[in-house]
Structure 1
Amino acid sequence: MRASVKRPPTPDAEEEQDQEPTLQEIINVKFIESGEKERLKELLRERLIECGWRDEMKDLCRALVRKKGRNNVTVDDLINVITPKGRASVPDSVKAELLQRIRSFLASASL
């Protein structure tokens, strides 16, 4: 049997069963199962809208489209320009609030 050039060979089922999930995987599963992940995403959306971050990102996108021309901008162009600026401009208060909520969840989940 030939291995695919585009993807690695599929591991045997026995190998997958022997591997213990990592702490990160366990935490991610607990966040999803409890619905906390969706609540945190919604809280983040609300806070970013409240502080004007979302409007700021829209304005950056519009400025880039005006500069390059509507037909000369791709979604990838927008993502490459906006992502670093967007991450850097999230207010510290929003980050702190989310971090506190995550810590509270982890403490109550007793991992």
Structure 2
Amino acid sequence: MTDRNSQIRATLNTKLMESGEREQMKQLLRQRLIEYGWRDQMKSYCKEIVKQKGLENITVDELVQEITPKGRALVPDTIKKEMLARLRQYLSKHDDI
């Protein structure tokens, strides 16, 4: 990623936080993931990993590292498109980014 892209992302993130839009998007994302059963799928997957490795043999950080790729892959495309559309809508209203 170039420095320019990093700068744009940082500016966008700041604007989203200042406006409260970031928190609204996070809430919407949580709601949609629950509606689609993603949360339940991830909960089951976590239990499976802990059962396989043993509770004493895995840290929270290791568990997060293990489940993150699957968690990202399980997010339905419809949710990704909805979030992207909302971000684009925000950007279209804020030319200063």
Q: TM-score range by the shorter chain?
A: 0.7 to 0.9
Residue number in structure 2 paired with 1:13: none
Q: Where does the alignment leave 5 or more consecutive residues of structure 1 unmatched?
A: 1-20
C-alpha separation in 1, matches of 2:50 and 2:56: 8
Q: Percent identity?
A: 51
RMSD (Å), alpha carbons: 1.4
Residue number in structure 2 paired with 1:10: none
Residue number in structure 2 paired with 1:41: 26
C-alpha separation in 1, matches of 2:54 and 2:95: 53
Equivalenced residues, count = 91
Q: Does 1:54 align with 2:60?
A: no
Cα displacement (A) at 1:33: 0.9
C-alpha separation in 1, matches of 2:9 and 2:53: 41
Q: Where does the alignment leave 5 or more consecutive residues of structure 2 unmatched?
A: 1-5
SS of corresponding position for 1:110: coil
| Structure 1: 4+ residue segments shifted above 3 A | none
Q: 1:67-110, CA deviations, whole angstroms, 9 ceiling, x for partnerless residues? A: 11221121122112100000111000000000000000000112
C-alpha separation in 2, matches of 1:35 and 1:23: 18
Q: 1:8-56, CA deviations, whole angstroms, 9 ceiling, x for partnerless residues? A: xxxxxxxxxxxxx932222222111110000000000000011000110
**Structure with greater proportional helix content:** 2
